[in-house]
Structure 1
Amino acid sequence: MRLLHTMLRVASLDRSLAFYTDVLGMRLLRRQDYPEGRFTLAFVGYGDEADHTVLELTHNWDTDHYELGTAYGHIAIETADIVATCDAVRARGGKVVREPGPMKHGTTVIAFVEDPDGYKIEFIQR
């Protein structure tokens, strides 16, 4: 068994695709509209689905806002240079919500950014 994908519901697929591809550097792997169900699925990631875990962005055509709830945490991405990664996110218009530094009660260096829907993405220094 292996983890295939994590699904996020997004209010604007175009805005979210721009964030995940242009800001975070993922690739759009596939996209399909389901007119009868009034939704679109787009899969993004850093590698092919056959070998990597990816994100499924689900856009329900009749929904323009979601409540994130209190159970959701974040998605984690490993990076070789967390400061340069955060600088690149900022330069591309992304929002860094926690600057790089050691995690509370630990030594792992982390940072957080936020996607257009408010989902948190944690960067972890390799």
Structure 2
Amino acid sequence: MKSIYTTAIMVSAALLLASAAHAQVTLNSVRVGAKDTVALAKFYQAAFGMQEVNRLNGQGGPEVFVNFGATVESAKANKSEPIVIMHRDSDDLKDPIPHVILNVKDMAATVAAIKAAGGSMTGDPRPFGNTGVVIGIAIDPAGNRLELIQRP
């Protein structure tokens, strides 16, 4: 009986430790690639009002961090996770699944800003069933996909 009790205590402790470890995990950032990281950072600024908050010089070129904010100072103070733009040798992408998902307040205005900044849409944004949600898929100038979600 004592061994069953001891085993039960050990299993419970292990489960508590495992759940505590998961509770300590948070999203750090989202990374996209571009042949010209500086140009792509300018797209994110023009299309979404993001600001450059950090830059690291790497072998292939600078790695640029952007975040939401009306000014560089407010973007640096923003506690949201940044988008990190890392150098890659080619913008010729084959896999359509990896993408950044952004919440938007006004789909039409966001689509217009994306197009004005040099991005494109895969098609017109569409309702998601009868949920009131509208979803659009944009492509930034480096070929990265951006899912846009407008909630009611």
Normalising to structure 1: TM-score of the pair? 0.79
Query: Which secondary structure state, in structure 1, belongs to the residue aligned with residue 98 of structure 2?
Result: coil
Query: Which secondary structure state, in structure 2, belongs to the residue aligned with residue 9 of structure 1?
Result: strand
Query: Which secondary structure state, in structure 1, belongs to the residue aligned with residue 80 of structure 2?
Result: coil
What amino acid maps onto 2:136 in structure 1?
A
1: CA distance, partners of 2:49 / 2:78: 19
Query: Which secondary structure state, in structure 1, belongs to the residue aligned with residue 38 of structure 2?
Result: helix
1: CA distance, partners of 2:96 / 2:115: 27
Shift of 1:78: 0.6
Q: Which of 29, 40, 45 is the aligned partner of 2:53?
A: 29
2: CA distance, partners of 1:91 / 1:76: 20
Match of 1:81 in 2: 106
Match of 1:122 in 2: 147
Contact 1:6 1:56 in 2 (8 A): yes
2: CA distance, partners of 1:31 / 1:24: 19
What amino acid maps onto 2:81 in structure 1?
T
Contact 1:4 1:49 in 2 (8 A): no
2: CA distance, partners of 1:69 / 1:49: 36
Relative to structure 1, the CA distance from residue 77 to residue 101 in structure 2 (aligned partners, 3 Å threshold; closer, same or farther) is same
Q: Whose strand proportion is higher, 1 or 2? A: 1
Q: Which of 91, 114, 120 is the aligned partner of 1:95?
A: 120
Structure 2: where are the runs of 5+ without partners? 1-24, 69-74
Q: How does 1:63-78 map to 2 (within 5 A)?
A: 63=89, 65-70=90-95, 72-78=97-103
What amino acid maps onto 2:85 in structure 1?
L
Aligned length: 120
Q: Whose helix proportion is higher, 1 or 2? A: 2
Match of 1:51 in 2: 79
Query: What is the identity percentage for the equivalent residue pairs of Structure 1 and Structure 2?
Result: 25
Relative to structure 1, the CA distance from residue 97 to residue 71 in structure 2 (aligned partners, 3 Å threshold; closer, same or farther) is closer
Contact 2:138 2:146 in 1 (8 A): yes
**Are residue 6 (structure 1) and residue 30 (structure 2) matched?**
yes
From the CA coordinates, give the structure whose radius of gyration is larger. Answer: 2
2: CA distance, partners of 1:123 / 1:85: 9
Match of 1:40 in 2: 62
2: CA distance, partners of 1:94 / 1:112: 11
Contact 2:47 2:110 in 1 (8 A): no
